[in-house]
Amino acid sequence: MLTKRIIPCLDIKNGRTVKGINFINLIDAGDPVQLAKKYTELGADELVFLDISATLEGRKTMQKLVLEIAAQIHIPFTVGGGITSVNDVEQLLKNGADKIAVNSAAIKRPELINELANKFGNQCVVVAIDAKKINNKWIVHIAGGTQPTQLTLFDWAKEAEQRGAGEILFTSMNNDGTKQGFANEALAKLSSQLNIPIIASGGAGTIQHFVDTFQKGKADAALAASVFHFGEIAIADLKNELKKQKITIRL
Provide the β-strand partners of residue 101.
Answer: 80, 126
Could you say which DSSP state residue 177 is in? T
Residues 6+ apart with CB under 8 A from 146: 23, 56
H or E element that contains 178: none
CA-closest candidate to residue 112, choices 91, 76, 88: 88
176 catalytic, yes or no? Answer: no
212 catalytic, yes or no? Answer: no
* Cα distance between residue 196 and residue 190, in whole Å: 10
- What phi and psi values does residue 164 have, to the nearest 5 degrees? 125, 5
H or E element that contains 170: strand 167-172
* Cα distance between residue 184 and residue 56, in whole Å: 29
Of 45, 51, 130, 212, which is the active-site residue?
Answer: 130
Task: Tell me which residues are annotated as active site.
Answer: 11, 130
